Every structure is written in C-alpha cells, then in structure tokens.
Amino acid sequence: MKAHSLTLALTALPFAAAKGPFLQQTSNDTWVLGNDIWNITQGPIYGTKLYYQGKDAIGSAVGHYVGADGENNLVWESASIVNKGGSFIDVSFVSEKGDLHWVIYDDLAGSYQYFVNRALGDISILRSLFRLDPDRFPNGRTYLKDEPLPSFKSILSATKVQDETFETSDGTYITKYDWSNYVRDRDFNGVYGPSTGSWYIHPSTDYFSGNHLKQTLTVHRESSTGDAVQLNVVQDTSHFQTQVTTSQPVGKIWGPWLWYLNDGDIADAARKHQEELTKWPYPWINDTAYHSRGSVSGSLKLSDGRVAAGAAVFLGDSDIQAPLAQGANYYYTTYADVSGKFSFANVRTGKYGIYAWSNGGKIGDVYTNFTKSGIDVKGKTNLSTLTWSVPTNKRIFQIGDFDKKTTGFINSGPYHHGLAAASPANFTFVVGTTNSSSWYYASSNLGTWNVEFSIAELEKPTARLIVSLAGYSQSTALTVLANGAVLGSLSKDNITTDAATYRSGTVSGEWHQFEYVVSNLKKGKNVVSFQVDRYVLWRGFLWDAITLEWI
C-alpha cells in the first residue's frame, strides 16, 4: 500500500518523493523515472509529464519518443535498472528493435542517453526527440541559428508548398530544413525560453553516419501541433543525400549523449558542453567494446611534393562505399594540419579505411581523392607518410576550390529555402577578369552559363574538363558544351539525386564529379557552356569547382 502511495506521489508532484535517481513502475506499461530535480512519466511510446522547476515542461505537447525511418516509433515492453554506481542508475527501456538507456545521476538536471540495437535491420534514420510546451520553449538554438522558432499561427496561415515547407503571404518561407546543420560541427542544440532550456550535447560524434559533410535536422516548430521540437537524429542516410539504408549490427551503440536541462542560459549550456568533452569516453558504459579504443596518426603528402595542408581526413569503413553513405559502424573525422599531419584519438578498435580530399586552400586545385583500406586499429596505429597521387597537368582555368562544397560562391550558406531560384538564368564568366566569387552556388533556371577564355597557343590537341558538383536534385537537366559542341549531359539519367537543393541546403548535398575530353579548342576566344534545358522549381545543380587542363 505504501508503494502505491509513492507511485501516486511521483506522478502528481513536480519532484520525486524519493531521494536520488529512481525508476518506479506504475502500471503494466507505464513508468516514472528521474531524480530530485526532474522526473518524466514514460508510457509504451511517449514520455509525458516532464516535471522540472515545479511544473510540467511538456504539457499538451506529444513528449519524448524514439523512432526509425518515419513514424515507426518504438514500443517499450519493459524497463529495469541494469547498472548502478554510487550516484547513478542506468535504466534500460526494452523494445523489439532496441533498448534506450537513461543514465540518471542524483545531482544532474537531465540524463545521459544511449541506444543499443537489437533488430533495427536496414534503416536510413534513427532519432529520439522531445516535443515540448511551445509557450515555455519559444526559441531554438544551434551553432548556426539562435532565434525564435516560427510561430504556429504563421504556419497555419501559410500555404504548404512541399514537405514541411510553407509560403507566407509576403512570399517568404517557413521550413524546418532552415534549422539543419552539419553534425560534426555541432556544439549543442536545443530549445529554450526565459526560464527553461532543454539541450542535446554530443561530446563524441563517432556513432553518427557519414563524413564531414553529413548534415541533418535539429530543432523546429512542429507544423501540425505547434510543439517545440528538440530533435536528436543520430543516424541519417537520407535527408540531404541519395537515400540509402545500412544494415545495423546487433549490439551497435548510438551515444551516449547528454540531455541537459537548465534555466535557459546559453552560456551555461556552452560550459556544460565543454565539461562533457573532458569526460568522454564515459567510464560508466557497461560494454567492453565501447572501452576498447586506440589511436591513428599519419601524414599526407601529394605526389607532386606538396604536403596535403588542410585536407579533410575520414576514418571509415574499409570498403569502396562512398564516405557520405557509410552508416553501419563508427566514424571519425579531422583535418590535416599545415604540414599534412593528422590524428584520431579514442578510436574504437577494428578494421577501417582512410579517405582524404581537398578542403580548399593551398590544395584547392586537387580534384582526386586519397583512399587506403585495411587499417587495423589496435592500440597506437602510426601510418607514417601516405602518398596521395595527384595530376600535374597544366591548367587553362579553374573556377572555385575542389572541396566538395559551394564555399566561396554567391549564396553559399547558410541554410535558406529557395535560393537556387535566385541564381541567374544566363551568366557569363570571363577567365582573367571575373573572380570565382562571382559564380553562383547553384544552377536551376533555364538558360546558359558561359565560361569565356582565350588561348594563345594550342599546347596539346586535347584538354580535359573536370566538372565537380557539390550536389544535385532532380529533375533539372544540363548540357555541357565546348565551342558549341556537346560534350555530354547531366540529369537524373546519370546522376543520383539528393534533396539538399530543395531542402534549404546551400553548401553541399552528395558530391559527383565528371570528366570530358575537349578536342575542339582553338587559338583565341573559346567558350565552355553549361546550358540548363530542363527546369524544376528549387531543384538543380550545386557547384563545387570546374577546371580545364591540357592532357
């Protein structure tokens, strides 16, 4: 009878009636968990009644849940304390697909969380989230944006023009994709108000899929209910790339990350983020493989004698799958220093491949990639000096840096819906007069972009045109020409599509590179043309770089 009275107190009062972290089952499929600072009522799918600072932070909003690939939300069948220490408990909620753990400390406002796979199978997306009281959490914050979330009223009065994108009466757009960002550049994301903040802090990103260019959603206003959404997408091989699924190994762990509550103070959340960086890898994870880690170091030198200064370096799967699409294991990213040296610390032991590409700057002319498979990480792994083969052909011209991004072009970054439509239909770039900064990040409208250049002498009978795209969204089509002769076409027939261009992505989607042999150059004026001959609104081509070289 006393236990039943305690159960009622836990669900009715803003703070737990027991001291320290706790889990209390209140019915066959309902539990209350938390500590003296906060507690939440977890049902078979949704966590509701989040009591913090003396009142419910969820209210009429949906609450907390976990799901994969759309609204396939997990159903919790049981919960138990599976590990405990002097000041914490590890609570595991079990579902058919996997287990969500809450690691609750006695003095922590919030909880560490991690997810362990049972039977997810082939998936493209895995996420957890809180949908919270919109009045208590009116603002959103990422490393790119810190401002009020769009009002629910403004969404209701707008016209839906595509998925989660709405046009207002003044011609501007509201979309959750404007709040996206690159997962490995994050510090902390969250929603907050004058008195309360709710944040996700990821001290490590090794469980995220993909490479440096992996991007996904963060926070937004739920368009159907007005809830403030604090989104935590930890697996995404879909939203801003060619959609693929990856088979998830049994026992794979996503996390731990920290869900953190405070009084809405961003500076405090920033301090907490820095604190968590010093604590990771967390010692309380009860998993041997999690604690089995090593390191990888080496240096990259180009075959022409230069060091690979600033190169993007990715430690991923030891196979030929494109780095952005990798998502079954654990992944590490860094950049080489000015001398070409790189290192990775706290790498899970196992087999890896290493990949590198130009990130612009001193090696912005390099359009080849470096790959090396079969790297066995056990303890300290020193790869010494790796030689990266690069061509030494003489350039006729180059527009932009080869970095797999639209960086440096007009309208490149930040996230903004519909900017592709703002690029000109017709445009002329004069080599030697026009700067790369005058090129536009995207081609979309029907028309022709000409690159005009002069050749004093024909040094060789043929040249090679390299066209590098930072992304492509179908079904826009483009014809490539040299002095009026067709070299080839780019369309959905020979490029896999991604959603970046129409989902507010202005920097990258999925990278593609094409080569064309040009045999009709002449002395004097020449023209390479890119003619858009099929138009679809907000779709098109994201530009990385273009170069023409003698071969």
Residue 265, token pair as written in the block: 């103070």
Spatial CB neighbours of 372, under 8 Å, sequence gap ≥ 6: 353, 354, 383, 386
How many angstroms separate the CA atoms of 421 and 4, rounded?
A: 62
Q: How far apart are CA 129 and CA 134, in angstroms?
A: 14
Residues 356, 502 within the same domain: no
Supply angle C-alpha 413, 416, 420, rounded to 5.
85
Question: What sign results for the dihedral spanned by CA atoms 458, 463, 465, 466?
Answer: negative
| Contact partners, residue 68, CB within 8 Å, separation at least 6 | 74, 97, 120, 123, 125, 126, 127, 235
Both 344 and 279 in a single domain? no
Residue 40 and residue 150 share a domain = yes
299 and 163 in one domain? Answer: no
Residue 467's domain is classified under what CATH number? 2.60.120.260
- The range of the structural domain enclosing residue 211 comes to 2-290
| Torsion of Cα atoms, 52 then 53 then 58 then 59, to 10° | 130
Are residue 350 and residue 417 in the same domain, yes or no? no
CA distances for 446 relative to 97, 302, 463, 528, angstroms: 47, 40, 27, 17
| Domain end marker among 267, 290, 313 | 290
Q: Please check whether residues 42 and 189 belong to one and the same domain.
A: yes
Domains: count for the chain: 3
Give the Cβ contact number of residue 101 at 10 Å: 22
Q: Is 333 exposed, middle or buried (0-12, 13-18, 19+ CB in 10 A)?
A: buried
How would you write the pLDDT of the chain (551 residues) with one tens digit per residue? 333 333 333 444 444 455 899 999 999 999 999 999 999 999 999 999 999 999 999 999 999 999 999 889 999 999 999 999 999 999 999 999 999 999 999 999 999 999 999 999 999 999 999 999 999 999 999 999 999 999 999 999 999 999 999 999 999 999 999 999 999 999 999 999 999 999 999 999 999 999 999 999 999 999 999 999 999 999 999 999 998 999 999 999 999 999 999 999 999 999 999 999 999 999 999 999 999 999 999 999 999 999 999 999 999 999 878 999 999 999 999 999 999 999 999 999 999 999 999 999 999 999 999 999 999 999 999 999 999 999 999 999 999 999 999 999 999 999 999 999 999 999 999 999 999 999 999 999 999 999 999 999 999 999 999 999 999 999 999 999 999 999 999 999 999 999 999 999 999 999 999 999 999 999 999 999 999 999 999 999 999 999 999 99
Looking at the fold, whether 380 and 407 belong to one and the same domain comes out as no
pLDDT of residue 346: 98
**Strands, DSSP E only, in 358-438?**
370-377, 380-388, 395-399, 427-430
Same domain, 52 and 181: yes
CATH number for the domain harbouring residue 11? 2.70.98.10
**Same structural domain for residues 424 and 368?**
no
- Long-range Cβ pairs for the range 7-15 (8 Å, 24+): 7/32, 10/39, 11/41, 11/49, 13/51, 14/51, 14/52, 14/53, 14/54, 14/55, 14/56, 15/39, 15/51, 15/54
196 and 284 assigned to the same domain: yes
Instruction: Give the C-alpha separation, 41 to 79, whole Å.
Output: 12
pLDDT value for 18? 56
Q: What is the CATH number of the domain that holds 381?
A: 2.60.40.10
- How do 30-34 and 22-27 pair as beta strands? antiparallel
| Last residue of one domain, picked from the residues 329, 361, 388 | 388
Q: Are residues 154 and 62 in the same domain?
A: yes
- As a whole number of angstroms, the distance between CA 265 and CA 541 comes to 40
Beta bridge partners of 246: 123
Beta bridge partners of 509: none
Choose one of 372, 388, 404: the last residue of a domain: 388
Q: pTM of the prediction?
A: 0.94
180 and 313 part of one domain: no
